[in-house]
Structure 1
Amino acid sequence: MMTKVLFVCMGNICRSPSAEGVFRHMIDEAGLSGVVQVDSAATHTFHLGESPDARAQAAARKRGYDISHCVARQVKPEDFREYDLILAMDWENLSALQQQCPKVYHHKLMLLMRFANEFEEATVPDPYYGGVEGFSKVLDYLEDACQGVLEVVRKRVTQYQAA
């Protein structure tokens, strides 16, 4: 049974592709790439078809994550059915997802930072209009929260394998 995780931000060029890269790296290291699928998407259409922001790519590369393959796309109606966890970067994007999502799938929608263990912030700040240091801070948050997501996914995979 494949577990599918979708990371979502406004434009899908900074936070969500960075989260995808961090989490993809973690599942590869955990040996779960055959049973966990990860992707990212946008709530808005601002950057569809674009690669991640150059600053996001540079910050990710410094930490050993490759997000150059990511291409911005918008959340599709079928994503709500197909993904097990749909993780928003902030309240605005969570609200946008809740408005689009059929009620039957609302349980899949959550803020990513609810999985964080080190940081107490509720949301991942948008680094787009700030300096390079903002992208590094975002990666700190993403690494923490994605570690928590990995723990949940690992338990889920173990439960399916035992059943």
Structure 2
Amino acid sequence: MSDGKKSVLMVCLGNICRSPIAEAVFIDCLKKRGIEGAWLVDSSAIIGYHTGKGPDSRAMGALRKYGINDYQHRARVTTPDDIRRFDYIFGMDDSNIEDLREIEQKVPKSERRAEILMLGKQDPRGKSEVPDPYYESGSAQFDEVLQQCVKCCEAFLDKILK
């Protein structure tokens, strides 16, 4: 980003569960450190099935339980321009990473800015993939995804802010 801010994009399949949770958690981590003004944080989807919709109600419930009550988002699809705009793009699973690499191939190497990473791998003691809770009944896996995102976002920030 040209305004001097660092930038992060969280990506999952539909942008209504994992990536919005990760976006809201990352923003919360930044707020707790007093540096939210130095970052641009967003989230997006691989597919456009939910474009324009808000996060799943179970995702919002998990965020509220964690104390995040002011998060708002509308699903959107990841574009080649995101590869040009963001410093870090985090996929939630191997399939997301493969899809992000395909999008990256549409951008000339000289125009690529983003480092594409797996969010789960930021916490070396955790699982490498953030599981998709969408098809699970109830909200327990949404709470687990949120806790995994907290650990991963904190570990990432600890690493790059040294």
Scaled by the length of structure 1, what TM-score is found? 0.88
Residue 83 (structure 2) aligned to one of 80, 85, 91: 80
Residue 40 (structure 1) aligned to one of 40, 43, 57: 43
Greater shift, 9-18 or 23-32, is seen at 23-32
Instruction: Give the residue type in structure 2 aligned to 1:9.
Output: C
Rounded Cα–Cα distance in structure 2 between residues aligned with 1:142 and 1:44: 21
User: Which residue does the alignment assign to 2:99?
Assistant: 96
Q: Percent identity?
A: 36
Q: Once the two structures are superposed, what CA deviation does each residue of 1:89-146 show, in whole Å capped at 9, x if it has no partner?
A: 0000110010111363386111011111441x11000000003111011011101101
More helix, by proportion: 1
Report how far residue 154 of structure 1 moved: 2.4
Report how far residue 65 of structure 1 moved: 1.7
Residue 8 (structure 2) aligned to one of 5, 10, 13: 5
Instruction: Give the residue type in structure 1 aligned to 2:136.
Output: G
User: Which residue does the alignment assign to 1:31?
Assistant: 34
Residue 126 (structure 1) aligned to one of 128, 132, 154: 132
Contact map agreement 1:18 1:67 (CA 8 A) in 2: no
Residue 149 (structure 1) aligned to one of 148, 151, 156: 156
Report how far residue 68 of structure 1 moved: 4.2
Rounded Cα–Cα distance in structure 2 between residues aligned with 1:64 and 1:118: 25
Report how far residue 42 of structure 1 moved: 0.3
- CA-atom RMSD, angstroms? 1.6
Unaligned runs of 5+ in 1: 156-163
Matched position secondary structure for 2:37 = coil
Note closer, same or farther for the CA distance 1:46–1:21 as it changes in structure 2 (3 Å cut): same
